[in-house]
Amino acid sequence: MKKKFPMLSRDKATSSVNLEASETQHPSESIKVVDYELLETDPGIRPPISSYHPDIQNEVRKAYLKIGRHQPPHNFVYPWSLKGNQRRRFGKNWLDLYDWIDYSESKDLAFCLPCFLFKNVSKYGGDHFVTKGFSDWKNSQRLANHATSSNSHVDCVHMSYALMNPNQSIKAAFVNQTKQMNSEYRVLVNTSLIATKFLLRCGMPFRGSDESFNSLFKGPFLELVDTLKKINPKIANVIDCALGNNFMTAPTIQKDLAAACACEITQQIVCDIADDVFCVLIDESDDVAGKEQMTAVIRYVNSEGFIKERFLGIVSVKETSAKSLTEALKKLLSINGLSLSSIRGQGYDGASNMRGKFGGLRTLIQNENPSAYYVHCFAHQLQLALVACAKTHKDVSGFFGKVNMLESIISFIF
């Protein structure tokens, strides 16, 4: 459908806009407010849009569009011009026929308003309807051709329309599209987040041994996402129509979401401590890859008077020396906004690097905070006692062997 060139009558434009006096006389200088009264409307003598400061070019364009086409008075007599032996003049009905024509009575030339406002002459070439003006009245067919066969004219009309109707401009369409993309992105992230939170709450693994498309069991995370798709058609639609592979289910994204959940929970724990004192329980061991790790648990009394023990985190350490563990603990506390000076108790196993009076972790912390009293971890003491018993009493050894088997079977079932 042909888009009609947007125009307002001059009277309507001037009465509906609050005008302020221009600070300058020359259009090429910086003009902050476009003054309709000072704007030259005669297309034969008006300055090109490019002569205005780039910051106000759109304002000038809007002003011209609101003023509308320049048309001579009804009683204006169009002058005759002699071309060869024939006299020709501008056809009065052309103003009605072509809704884009600007006529200059001072120069007896026709112009195109949208092309004047938006046409990049250096790009498209040809400026008969922009700056030079059209006066070949004999070949009036060129007027019809200009509107129908000129791509640049159509583009200029579209740009005029977009400028006066910002809600339907490309920019607005882009913003709307961005809103839709944001909405779909949120659905994707929320779906993965729901699956992540569920698996974290259950303490279940995320990944499967075969996560290929045709796999019968893709692992808990992907299976849960598939289940959510079946329950909610909107989720299914967004995931199935996601651009590229942007499903938000990649292993790295699963890890990011799990890390974000861990961060949120840790912050909640720190809030629960509420700048009060606490104790630290620390142990170190190798992971399956032989990498040294330090585990930290904090013990505190919350605002309701209940004793809480909360896991703070696992930190990779280069070595399990007391110095390395101390630095790791300081870093972990610092990341979570906790202070070493607030420690009132330390609980470790009996290893020399932990409880050693000379250079052990306990001593290094007490050097900085004498109030951090050390207690040999009762759980470790109990473990040591039970191991000693089991070594000397077959019944005790058998009992714990059966308990171990039962624990394995029950954890396998559930």
Considering the complex, what minimum distance in angstroms separates the CB of residue 113 from Zn ion? 8
Smallest gap from residue 119 Cβ to Zn ion (A):
7
Dihedrals phi, psi of 297, to nearest 5 degrees: -125, 140
- Closest CB to Zn ion among residues 62, 362: 62
Answer yes or no whether residue 65 interacts with Zn ion by CB under 5 A: no
Q: Is 153 in the site for Zn ion (CB under 5 A)?
A: yes
Q: Between 115 and 187, whose beta carbon lies closer to Zn ion?
A: 115
For the CB of residue 236, give the shortest distance to Zn ion in the complex, in Å. 49
Size of the site for Zn ion (CB under 5 A): 3
- Rg of the chain's alpha carbons, rounded to an integer? 40
Closest approach of Zn ion to the CB of residue 122, in Å:
16
Question: In which residue are the tokens 């992540």 written?
Answer: 196
The residues facing 285 across adjacent strands are 293
* φ and ψ at residue 7, rounded to 5 degrees: -150, 155
> Cβ 62 to Zn ion, closest distance in Å?
18
What residues contact 91, with CB distance under 8 A and at least 6 apart? 97, 137, 140
User: Smallest distance, Å, CB 8 to Zn ion?
Assistant: 19
Q: Judged by CB under 5 A, which stretch of 54-62, 145-153, 313-321, 406-414 contacts Zn ion? A: 145-153
Ramachandran angles phi, psi of 339, nearest 5°:
-115, 145
Of the pair 7, 115, the CB lying nearest Zn ion is at 115
By CB under 5 A, which span of 105-113, 251-259, 330-338, 340-348 interacts with Zn ion?
105-113
3-state helix, strand, coil in the chain (%, to 5): 50, 15, 35
Nearer to Zn ion, 69 or 380 (CB): 69
Q: How far apart are CA 266 and CA 275, in angstroms?
A: 14
Smallest distance from Zn ion to CB 129, Å: 5
338 and 270 Cβ atoms separated by less than 8 Å = yes
Q: Which has the closest alpha carbon to 269: 316, 302, 314?
A: 302
Closer CB to Zn ion, 151 or 303, in the complex: 151
Contact status, residue 101 vs residue 133, Cβ threshold 8 Å:
no
Which window, 33-41, 42-50, 152-160, 394-402, contacts Zn ion (CB under 5 A)?
A: 152-160
- Residue range at the interface with Zn ion (CB under 5 A); choices 47-55, 147-155, 261-269, 281-289: 147-155
- 21, with CB counted inside 10 A (0-12, 13-18, 19+), is exposed
107-136 residues near Zn ion, rule: CB under 5 A = 112, 115
Count CB neighbours of 342 within 10 A. Answer: 18
Residues between 297 and 316 that touch Zn ion (CB under 5 A): none
Of the two residues 42 and 283, which places its CB atom closer to Zn ion in the complex? 42
Asked if 49 touches Zn ion (CB under 5 A), the answer is: no
Question: Degrees (nearest 5) of the Cα angle 19, 22, 23?
Answer: 145
Minimum distance, C-beta of residue 100 to Zn ion, in the bound complex (Å): 6
For residues 355 and 20, what is the distance between their CA atoms, to the nearest angstrom? 81
Residues that bind Zn ion (CB under 5 A): 112, 115, 153
